[in-house]
Amino acid sequence: MADDGSGGDISIPSFLMFKVDADQIIAEVRANHPVQVEMQWALPQPDDRVEYDLWTTPSDPVSKEFQKKFKPIAEALGDRAYFTPHMYVYDGIKSNCQGFDGENMCFNLCTNNGRYCATDPDNDLDHGISGADVVKESLRRVCIWKQHGDSDGIGSDWWDYVGQFMERCDSPDYFANEDCVKDCYKHAGIDQVVIDNCMRDSGGLDKDQTNTFLDLEMQAQVKRGVVILPTAFVNTVALRGGLSVDTVFTAVCNGYLEGTEPKVCTECEGCADFDQCIAKKKCKSSGGGVSPHMFMGSILFISLIFGGAAFWHYRKTREDMREQVRGILAEYMPLEGDDGQVGSPMDFAKRGGTENLMG
């Protein structure tokens, strides 16, 4: 917003309001009433199904933990939520990576003669993972989603492939290794031929021609206004802050029309054992906490432990006092025995001091 000449007294940060709202606050202040204003970014809650997206790249280190762990939640949400993964690809033409004669001007950062590009993850154009490798893996994941997730918005096989890739191929030596990718296909139950055909039929990556799916990704990122990676959107609203399983799950649950939240949200949001709750769709601590029988049993057990310790302490203290008394008597009061002989002080103490002290 530009300064129209009246912004000299505005400092940063400032909060701008519509006049109709501000007039109500001013009226309350003038009436000497306390005023409290809360600034809140609320999620749209249109209906009983939430749509959420993730914008990332195959080389993005920040979203890896999220992608490893979110599959059970996506499955638990089921058809009550629709997930869409997006791969961020740079427009090489706008970045001047394609020359006037169609030549790739950005070396191995781009495919399709400079049309589609990605940053070099290790900042080394001669070694390791290249930008073109990232673009290729991005297209592969788009195709996997088209075949295994687009229909239901869950994409269990897509999550499996991404998890397998991060476990097996996420290193400079194996990122672009086709044998490693084949191994990921196998463990995720994905038909390689179908995905290869998808990548080729969409326009491929070799010639100076457009790729339909990559063009759609670039159009979507401009429309959505993606400027930071990774970014998650819930009901078209960007989530700010760290990307984690908890924050995305909470945002998704808050995106439902009030009263239409699925059971997994009402049960597991805030549950102490979150992972177990997602698996069972029930929080162990829900429904009243510890049962009365468990509570009374615990109290009884603790009472027995303390009672036994107190009794042992009492017996030990009594024995210690008795030994001390015997020691004192043995040291200061040597007595005469029944035979008229003076006995040893220790003998008297060992006998427990049973002789007549008066003699």
Alpha carbon distance 13, 21 (integer Å)? 19
pLDDT at 263 over 50: yes
Q: What is the pLDDT of residue 46?
A: 87
Q: Highest-confidence range of 4-13, 159-168, 275-284, by mean pLDDT?
A: 159-168
Residue whose entry in the numeric block shows the structure tokens 């005023």: 35
Could you tell me if 114 and 104 are in contact, meaning their C-beta atoms sit under 8 angstroms apart? yes
Alpha carbon distance 236, 248 (integer Å)? 13
Name beta bridge partners: 117: 90, 110
Q: What is the pLDDT of residue 7?
A: 66
Comparing CA positions, the residue from 227, 220, 249, 198 lying closest to residue 80 is 249
130: CB partners within 8 A, 6+ apart: 108, 109, 120, 176
Strands (E), the chain: 50-56, 81-87, 90-91, 110-111, 116-117, 231-234, 237-238
Arithmetic mean of pLDDT, 219-240: 93
Residue whose entry in the numeric block shows the structure tokens 């809360």: 38
The answer, yes or no, to whether the previous bond of 13 is cis (omega within 30 of 0) is yes
How buried is 69 (Cβ within 10 angstroms: 0-12 exposed, 13-18 middle, 19+ buried)? middle
- Per-residue confidence band for 269, with pLDDT thresholds at 50, 70 and 90: confident
pLDDT at 278 over 80: yes
Q: State the virtual CA torsion across 261, 262, 263, 269 in degrees, nearest 10.
A: -60
pLDDT at 342 over 70: no
Amino acid at 105: M
Alpha carbon distance 244, 262 (integer Å)? 20
- Per-residue confidence band for 317, with pLDDT thresholds at 50, 70 and 90: confident
pLDDT at 211 over 60: yes
Q: What is the pLDDT of residue 335?
A: 47
Comparing CA positions, the residue from 142, 92, 88, 87 lying closest to residue 117 is 92
> What is the chain's Cα-based Rg?
37
Arithmetic mean of pLDDT, 238-257: 91
Greater confidence (286 vs 3) lies with 3
Greater confidence (59 vs 358) lies with 59
Greater confidence (342 vs 190) lies with 190
Q: What is the pLDDT of residue 339?
A: 52
Q: Mean of the per-residue pLDDT values for the chain? A: 87
Running DSSP on this structure, what letter comes out for residue 104? B
Alpha-carbon distance values, 348 to 12, 77, 192, 315, 324 (Å): 92, 84, 97, 23, 14
Token pair listed for 200: 């080729």
pTM of the model: 0.71
Query: Edge-to-edge strand order for the sheet containing 231-234?
Result: 81-87, 50-56, 231-234, 237-238
Greater confidence (127 vs 339) lies with 127
Q: What is the pLDDT of residue 285?
A: 61
- pLDDT tens column, 35-69: 888 766 677 888 899 999 999 999 999 999 999 99
- pLDDT tens column, 73-128: 999 999 999 999 999 999 999 999 999 888 999 999 999 999 999 999 999 999 99
Alpha carbon distance 35, 27 (integer Å)? 10
Alpha carbon distance 196, 178 (integer Å)? 12
